[in-house]
Structure formats: C-alpha cells, structure tokens
Chain A
Amino acid sequence: MIFLRFFVGVALLMPLGAQAHEVYVSNERDNTVSVIDSATWEVTRTFPVGRRPRGLTFSKDGRRLFVCASDSDAVQVIDPDTGKLLHDLPSGEDPEQFSLAPDGKTLFIANENNATTTVVDADTRKVLAQIDVGIEPEGMAVSPDGKLAVTTSETTNMVHWIDTGTLQATDATPVGQRPRHAEFTRDGRRLWVSSEIGGTVAVIDVATRRVIETIGFEIKGISGDRIQPVGIALAEDGRSAFVALGPSDRVAVVDTESFKVKAYILVGRRVWHVAALPGGERLVTTNGVSGDVTVIDAGSLKAIRSIKVGRYPWGAAVRPVAGVRSAGAAE
C-alpha cells in the first residue's frame, strides 16, 4: 500500500513528454564534472574526477558514469548519484575518447599517446586487446549492431576499422587532416567523421568504407581556418547533423540527405562537442574557452541559454533514465 502510493506520487510529479534529464560535462582544466538539470538548466552538482577529464559516457542503465581521465591514464567508473569513484578501469596510456559497445560492457578506448585502441571488459575489468592504429587516435565509435568499431587517428589522418569479433584492425580509410570525432548513423550504414584542420566532415559508406561526401563550411566574416569541426551529434529523427566548429564559435546544422548546411548557430567560444537530449528538442554544446554550455533549441535552431560550468568544458553526456532511450552521448 505504501509502495503503491509512492509510485503514484512520482508519476504525478513527472510532466508528460518533457522529462528532466541530467547532463554531465567534463571540465578539462578543473578536473571536475558539472551536472546540469535540464528542467531548470542549472548546475546542481560539481564533483572532482581524475586529471584532464575529456570523454564521458554512461552505462545503459545510467547507473555508472565512465570518464576518460587522460592525464591520470585511467578510465574512471563513477557513481553518478554521489560522484564517488567506484573504481578505475585499465585504459592504456592517455585515454582520450571511448565508446561503449551495444553489449553494454565492451569499452573501446582511444589511447592518444601511444597509437593504440584498448578494448576493456567493463564488468570483469580486464583488457581484452590492444590494437595498433595510427598516430594520436581520438575519435571512437561502435556501430549500432556492435560488429564494427572505428577510431580516427589525428596525425595519420585515417579512420581505422576494427572487427569487434576478432578485435583486429582490418582496414583504414584516409580522411581530411586531423580527424577528431566519428559517429555512426542510427541505421549503421553511414559514418560521419570530422576533420578539424581539414575543416570538413566526411560521410563514409560503411559497407564500402569509402567517403561518399565531403562537407565544407563557410561562415561570412570568419576566416576559413577558424572553422574547425570537432564534435558531431546526429539528431534522433536522422534528418540533421549538428557539427561543433571549434574556434568559429558556431555549430553547423547539416541536412543528412542533401548534405547542405541549413544553419550556423552562434554558441560559446571554442565549441568542442554537442550532445542531443532524448526527445530531440534540445541539444547542448561544450564551449572550451568561454567555460560554458549552450542550450540549442532544435526547432528554431537557435541558442536559447548559456550555463556557466568549470574551466575548459570538453565532453557532455546525457544520463539515461530508465525506460527512456538514450540519445547517445557525445564523448
């Protein structure tokens, strides 16, 4: 009886359709994570993590937060409710970004300093393999069916394809200078890769591993070499891609059919990454130099709010809520 009442009470408190979410942001220079409540868009908590935190992501059930503490040479597993460190995972040297496979336990980690991808079983905390890839691997993604992993190497300028069954690198696709981030489409047929110095985004056909489109950007009044694509978020409806353009302080919105840029949204300074909230109505960006997070309204394609966080915010991840499909985290 008591339990029943409790559940009814909780259900009444939740407005239909507009569930509040928690957005976790890694502050690279402060060695902290800021937690933002999407109902109020305020920072509710900030907790310390390892040194130079960059990529972060959640377990499927939202109960564990994984953080790449690159200067601590560890992936930290944290209880998001308390901010307490549960344990470290062996990560290899200088973990920069990572991606959790759909099996919920295999973590693919890009080790920027030593040209490897480390594969870790997050449950047993064992290293399954270390795979040689190009120099300065950074972007990391696993295909929705879990069969492929990719990493982008920033100085080798390639996408490396890893067979998750054999845990071996099977092929490499050259892309523009300094590829930083990779994102599979939800159907797994295409891979979007940003090239920071090349100033482009490559769309790759996964079956043939060939670049089918190279998207360039032009912003009036901003010199071309300030346009440096890094983070990519693909909208839930599959129609738009949001690309963070670094020191141009803008996010480009790209039509995923025509590959045309629909809009440039002015956000904070040196925007690193973008993450979409479930439901598709809101996105957040991390702005390294201005030390804040911008909230974007996906309908009007406008920045509607900015939230001060720590120094040099880098990654953002939305905590999955039980029963709601995660929009995926931006590492």
Chain B
Amino acid sequence: MPKRADLTEGGRGAFGRHVLPALLLAFVVLSASSVQAAPPASPTLTIHYVERRVERPTPLNNEPPIPDDEGLRGAELGLRDGNATGRFVGLSFALKPTVIEPGADLQAALAALARESGPLRFLVVNAPADDLLAIADAPETREAVTLNVGAPDVRLRDRDCRARLLHVLPSRDMLTDALAQLLLYKRWNRLLLVSGPGADDALYADALRKSAKKFGARIVAEASFDARGADLRDSALKEFALITRGPEHDVVAVADERAEFGANLVYNTASPRPVVGTQGLTPTAWGRPVEAWAAVQLQGRFAKLASRPMGAIDWAGWMAVHAVTEAATQLKSSDPAAIRDLLLSKKFEVGGFKGRALSFRPWNGQLRQPVFVLWPGAVVAAAPVEGFLHRRTELDTLGLDEPESACRAFGGNG
C-alpha cells in the first residue's frame, strides 16, 4: 500500500465526524483505481540522501546557525509530496539518509550503503565538490543518477562534469549573473569588491568578475579582508571604512561564503553604498521572503515539517526528490532506467515554485531556473531580469551557456 504522506494532519479536526478514517479512504482510492484499471502497484523506489557533514564557523552576530538538517528536511518534504502524488498511479517512494561525518571514510560508507540497500539508483548528494565527484565516480554509483544539492562550484558544470551527475543547486556563476543583471538594470555598474581569504571566497570573487564582464559592469577596485585575528566588534567601524575607501563606485560587492565578516560590512562602508554578494543583497536559489508563484504553499508545507524557514539547500533537496518522483509519475513507472532516461532527456520539464517550467541543460546537467536576488526582508528581483534575452530561453542567460561549457560527458554537443 502506498505511503500516505501527511494527509491525516491538520485542518480537519472540526469535521472529524464526517471524515472517513484515513486508512479506509486510502483503501477506497486504491480499490477504486484498480477498478478503473490503474496500473498495478510498482515496487517502492528508494532515493538515497547522502550528506558529507562540514564544520562551520560559529555565527558572528548571533544569527541562527545553519541547521544540521539543511537539505535533508527539503528532501523529506519532496518524498511526502512524491508519495501523495505517486499513490494515484500506484507508485511509492522511500528516502534513505546517510550522513558521513567530517573525516570519515566516504568510500567505506558508500560500500556499506550498497551492501545494505542493493544497487544505488538515485542519490541526492549534499557535499563539497571533491566528495561529490568521489561519489559520482565510485563503482557503487555506476548505474545511479546523482543529484547535486550542495556544491555550487562552476567546474562541476564545466571541465569536471560527469554524465549522470545533475546539478539542482544553481552554480556560483548563475548566482553572480543574476546579481549582475539586477545591478545593470538599476545602472549600478561600478563595483568595489571585497574578498575573504577562503578558497570559496576566491571562487565567488572570480564568478563576480566574470559576471561583471559578461553584462558590462565594472570592478573599479578590489580589497581583501581577513576577519581572523581581529575582533570585528572592536574594529569594524574603522577597518571597513579603510578598505572600502576607493574610486567612485555604486555598490560594495562582498565575497565571504563562510559569513565571517560580510554581515558586518553592511552599513559600515566608507561611502553610503549598498552591500551586495554573499551578504546584503544576495542572489540565491531560495529564501524566506520568496512568496510569489505559489511559493507560499511550499514554504508553508516546509515550515510545518521542519519548524524553520526553507533555505536554498532545503529547496534543492526538495527539488531533487521532486524531479525524480515527478519523472516516475509522468512515466507511471518505477523502472530506474526509464526514469534516468527521462530526467536526462530534453523533453523533461518540472515545476519548482519559480514561475517557470524547469529543465536540465543537456550540455552539463545544470537545472535551468530563476534565481532570486533578495535581502532578508524582501525579494528585490527574480532573474532573468527583464531585458536580458537569449535565443533559447532567458533562463540560459544565467550560468554557462552551451558554447561556453567545456563539459563533454553528456555527449552530442560542443
């Protein structure tokens, strides 16, 4: 019998007397559909959620820490949604989470997982780029489709791409392209760039430079800042004023992926300029203020499940599981090979509460999608921003386009 998601929860207590017991109703639906010659129930399809836990710095300004279950809770909601839908066509899905602690042996964990669960067919992976590649290259995943929900690295969509590795999370360059489009739209063309010391910060800064060039913005000056060894609470007022003193600029762009100082740069610049980038006005796949295109529905379901707002990686986790279950539902089949083929085919389209049909780019496996540019209070814009055109779809103005990507693993292009 298909799993029954959350259909018995909430909202109907007042009418309890009139409501058939949930199980009986499920039985009625099933028996009725078998009368109507619905397809026979297929075996449950298992989706694996694999996470490499990473150490994170202590929040600087008493922000809520990044939740330990970020990503996983989204995937769980995707499972509930998938089962609520799949039952109408005799499909059921399961989610099996595996968390690999920092420093633990990834290969051994994968081998154990395969021994325990049999062949791995669908993996939703929340892990840094190197771990993600190790998973995609492991013998245990030879037959699997791996969906990346945690690594924004451009190289994974470029020379380090893999066949059967799909990227649900937007890449860094999709994010910075979205930001650059909004800045251009507003004619805030001159950027003063402040970068942190991390390798990720360097990648973000690099993506920002390329996006500025792509859309015609200009980086007028660059500075680096290392928050380590300084107590920002004492020094921010003076230090940030010093490093943001420079040629005329419209915005201060910040590349600080680990959130070590960016939040403190806001309102602390030498000139009265907005801060944009990893803090301040931020491009992201998802965030708390997103409400248009029925996003409120998804936000509400997530908040009910997780008792916290949905973040970008949560959304990617939901989206990854949703894509797999939606492909199965469209096929009315739990055959992994057929689902894989549909996911990788050009005709696959899926909704994601972003106001457009989403699909995977056939040249590098990246999910095409709008990117929100927001601050914690409100969404300022959703990119592609009006006026940025592309012959195929405006969504392809964000990130690596077909001629730019060095990915050849998907074959047939380049």
Chain A residues within CB distance 8 Å of chain B: 73, 90, 92-94, 111-116, 118, 126-132, 134-136, 153-158, 160, 168-172, 174, 177-178, 197-199, 223-225, 228, 247
Contact = CB atoms under 8 A, between A and B. Distances in A.
B38 A171 contact: yes
A154 B294 contact: yes
B15 to A, nearest CB: 4
A130 B85 contact: no
Contacts of B14: 90
Given A90-B15, A153-B85, A178-B351, 4 more contacts: A113-B301, A128-B18, A132-B29, A199-B357
B7 A132 contact: yes
A135 B18 contact: no
A232 to B, nearest CB: 19
Given A112-B297, A223-B394, A130 B351 contact: no
Interface of B: 5, 7, 9-12, 14-15, 18-20, 22, 25-26, 28-29, 32-33, 35-36, 38, 81, 84-85, 88-89, 294, 297, 300-301, 326, 329-330, 332, 349-351, 355-357, 393-395
Contact of A136 (B5, B38, B297): B297
Contact of B11 (A114, A168, A174, A247): A114
Contact of B26 (A73, A132, A247): A132
B25 A132 contact: yes
Contact of A177 (B15, B33, B349): B349
Contact of A168 (B9, B28, B88, B356): B28
B12 A92 contact: yes
A134 B84 CA distance: 6
A172 B10 contact: no
Nearest to B29: A169
Contacts of A156: 84-85, 88, 329
B18 A114 contact: no
A224 B81 contact: no
A127 B18 contact: yes
A94 B332 CA distance: 30
Contacts of A172: 33, 88-89
Contacts of A112: 297
B32 A177 contact: no
Given A130-B19, A169-B29, A170-B32, A197 B11 contact: no
A131 B22 CA distance: 10
Contact of A130 (B15, B26, B33): B15
A247 B29 CA distance: 36
Nearest to B35: A170
Nearest to B26: A132
Given A130-B18, A177-B357, A197-B356, A168 B32 contact: yes
A33 B323 CA distance: 39
19 contacts: A94-B11, A127-B18, A130-B15, A130-B19, A132-B7, A154-B297, A155-B351, A170-B33, A170-B35, A171-B33, A172-B33, A174-B329, A197-B349, A197-B351, A197-B357, A198-B349, A199-B357, A223-B393, A225-B356
B36 A114 contact: no
Contact of A171 (B12, B32, B326, B393): B32
A135 B84 contact: yes
Nearest to A118: B15
A111 B88 contact: no
Best-buried of B15, B81, B330, B349 by chain A (most CB within 10 Å): B15
Given A112-B297, A177-B350, A92 B11 contact: yes
A174 B7 contact: no
A194 to B, nearest CB: 14
Most buried by A among B35, B332, B357: B357
B68 to A, nearest CB: 27
A208 B9 CA distance: 33
Nearest to B384: A223
Contacts of B35: 170
A29 to B, nearest CB: 12
Contacts of A116: 7, 11-12
B22 to A, nearest CB: 8
A262 to B, nearest CB: 25
Contacts of B88: 134, 156, 158, 160, 172
Contacts of A134: 84-85, 88
A155 to B, nearest CB: 6
B393 A169 contact: no
Contacts of B297: 112-113, 136, 154-155
Contacts of A155: 81, 85, 297, 351
Contacts of B11: 73, 92-94, 111, 113-114, 116
A4 B85 CA distance: 61
Contacts of A169: 28-29, 32
B330 A174 contact: yes
A270 B10 CA distance: 33
Contact of A135 (B15, B85, B357, B393): B85
A178 B32 CA distance: 25
Contacts of B26: 132
Nearest to B394: A223
A171 B19 CA distance: 20
Nearest to B14: A90
A70 to B, nearest CB: 10
A1 to B, nearest CB: 53
A224 B393 contact: yes
Nearest to A158: B88
Contacts of A132: 7, 22, 25-26, 29
A127 B15 contact: yes
B395 to A, nearest CB: 8
B12 A93 contact: yes
A247 B85 CA distance: 28
B356 A171 contact: no
Contacts of B9: 114
Nearest to A112: B297
Nearest to A173: B88
Contact of B357 (A114, A136, A225): A225
A305 B12 CA distance: 44
B71 to A, nearest CB: 20
Contacts of B19: 129-130
Contacts of B28: 168-169
Q: Which of A132, A168, A247 has the most CB of B within 10 A?
A: A132
Contacts of B15: 90, 92, 118, 127, 130
